[in-house]
Structure 1
Amino acid sequence: MEFGRKTIRNTIDMMFIANSNHNLQILSAIKHLSFTVNAWTSPNMKAFMAITAHGITPEWKMLDVLIGMPAVEGQHSGVNFADLLVYTLDKLELSDKHISITADNASSNSSLAKHLEYRLGGIFKLTQLLGCMAHVINLSAHDWIRVFGTDTRVVNENEDEITLGKMDLANLVDQPDGQDINLHTVVSRIHGLATYVQGSPQSPNQDHSSGPRMLILDVRTRWNSTYDMLNCDLKLRKVCSTCCGSESRGEVARFSLLDEWDKVAQMVSFLEPLNNVTKILCCSKFSTLSMGLPIYISLITNIYDIQTKYNTFQLIPGRADD
């Protein structure tokens, strides 16, 4: 048999249809299903929403399968997401098996749940929307950093709709332009130093094989990136101090950390458990409540331990009178 482009295309189509019918047959035998939804934009600026179904088969085997990945057109609003989800579930005749949805904590997902409750007419309730635990932990880390007095960048937390233009990859990261950064804070100083170093012509030639030899720049949309940046900077403390203290590099003297290194160590010690549990959750194929509850308890215990180690003065933001 010749395998030309048409034959390969037809074979792939038939395999897809056969596999879809097989998955649908399995899902139809499951009484209750939960779903996860996640939207993103590809590098070629095509937006998609992945819909995954989760359940337990009559043979007591846990199952998770991708049931749809419709293209997202227009605004990335909760109403639009809900319509796509309802369309997919109705097409597969799975709407009546719905018990919960797991999504991240974007405000658009709250409106998704409200519109879904309206569209499904009693099958789904607003309380059946579950948040992503790893995302909650990441948001908690950002809130703690702000309370600690280190992150003063203004972020719009109340945006209801995200347009396709705003999903551009260039808008998903913090651009190192040096604007709106308060240099009187520890994180901002390290952020500024990392920006300066990464902009150096010599930076691409660095060898990372023997350990961290280049500062890491934090990205707000990347989980644990602030921890990675602080931890790397702490390991390169002597190099950073030498760089900022050199007379030939007076332009980076404003990023110098003197007494603030203890504060960096404090923040690293606090953020490290959050980093560890996030990796545990992301590596788990089937995250369950039996896993989540001990993680929450361990994090709360860690917070109380930190409170006993540092007094109030030690937890107040560092030098702000430069």
Structure 2
Amino acid sequence: MVITGHFIDHYWRLDIADGIYKCLKHWEIEDKIFTIYVDNVAYNDRALRRLKHIFSMVRKLTCGGRLFHVRCCAHILNLLVKDGHAMIDSVIGEVREGIKYINNSEARLQTFSNISHQLQIQDRKLLLDVLTRWNSTYDMLSVALKFKNVFPRFAKYEPHFHHLPNVEEWAHVESVCEILKVSKMAMDVLAILISTVASKATFSARGRVIDPYRSSLEPNIIQKFLCGGDWIKHCYGIKKKLKVHLIN
């Protein structure tokens, strides 16, 4: 479940802890919470300290509350990579602003595309990163590297275009991309397998149950799910009851 709230109290203060606890109380699951994991920001720390105090007053927390507040590992990884970006932060800024300039006009995009074709570079749209997602910065830089020879030629057609990293700066970008490529591989290998299929659809034989586009579960696990569904139907006579209903 996801709680999204935008509210301010009578004193113009945002009290996240009270808002979350009221929701949990309303759903009657306040005594079933084991762990809450959040991003690493100061207001989350304050909110979780207050929530932990509230929970500890009404019941005994598991493991003495040591596992109550868990910090988001994905956010920690993002912060670590962002610190690593600092060595080429100016170059990343140049590439980012250059892409913004080009994408801001259809005419500029067409000019950039024409130059790419002239240099026999596979035409692909430049990507702009999301500041809170390190992997999108990697994607932006790796695509921009393919067009590093296009940027100076584009500047000849656009006198106001000044976002041109030099040879040394592009070399730094290549080095960082190699490091981030290894990190991205590690993320793919170490990621926890999930499925986006609704739980009831997992045990249904109608239509597409699970396919490669909606799930990353391994084939043997999928087979166990389906076999388990058939076993349950057999034990409880679901198919037999369905036939009787149809005949009637």
TM-score tier, shorter chain, comes to 0.5 to 0.7
* Secondary structure at the counterpart of residue 186 of structure 1: helix
Percent same amino acid among aligned pairs? 24
Higher strand share: 1
Distance 1:143 1:78 in 2: 32
* Secondary structure at the counterpart of residue 102 of structure 1: strand
1:189 shift after superposition:
1.6
1:78 shift after superposition:
10
TM (norm. structure 1) is: 0.48
Do residues 272 (structure 1) and 206 (structure 2) align?
Answer: no
Question: Per-residue CA shift, 1:75-134, capped at 9, x if unaligned?
Answer: 8x9973222222222233322332211222232211121110121125453652112222
Distance 1:114 1:97 in 2: 18
Distance 2:8 2:31 in 1: 28
Question: Per-residue CA shift, 1:9-45, capped at 9, x if unaligned?
Answer: xxxxxxxxxxxxxxxxxxxxxxxxxxxxxxxxxxxxx
1:277 shift after superposition:
4.4
Amino acid at match of 2:95: I
Question: What's the counterpart of residue 73 of structure 2?
Answer: 133
Which residue of 251, 263, 272 maps to 2:172?
263
Distance 2:66 2:17 in 1: 12
Structure 2 unmatched runs, 5+: 115-120, 196-248
> In the alignment, is the contact (CA less than 8 A) between 2:95 and 2:163 conserved in 1?
no
> In the alignment, is the contact (CA less than 8 A) between 1:134 and 1:281 conserved in 2?
no
TM (norm. structure 2) is: 0.60
CA-atom RMSD in angstroms: 3.3
Distance 2:124 2:187 in 1: 25
Higher helix share: 2
Do residues 227 (structure 1) and 122 (structure 2) align?
Answer: no
Amino acid at match of 1:199: N
Question: What's the counterpart of residue 103 of structure 1?
Answer: 38
1:195 shift after superposition:
1.6
Q: Summarize the Cα distance change of 1:211–1:82 in structure 2 as closer, same or farther, 3 Å threshold.
A: farther
Distance 2:91 2:154 in 1: 16
> In the alignment, is the contact (CA less than 8 A) between 2:35 and 2:68 conserved in 1?
yes
Structure 1 unmatched runs, 5+: 1-49, 52-68, 152-184, 287-322
Equivalent positions of 1:80-91 (< 5 A) are: 80-91=15-26
> In the alignment, is the contact (CA less than 8 A) between 1:218 and 1:228 conserved in 2?
yes
Q: Summarize the Cα distance change of 1:129–1:281 in structure 2 as closer, same or farther, 3 Å threshold.
A: farther
Number of aligned positions between the proteins: 180
Question: What's the counterpart of residue 19 of structure 1?
Answer: none
Do residues 215 (structure 1) and 126 (structure 2) align?
Answer: yes
1:283 shift after superposition:
7.1
Q: Summarize the Cα distance change of 1:109–1:232 in structure 2 as closer, same or farther, 3 Å threshold.
A: same
Question: What's the counterpart of residue 8 of structure 2?
Answer: 74
Amino acid at match of 1:219: V
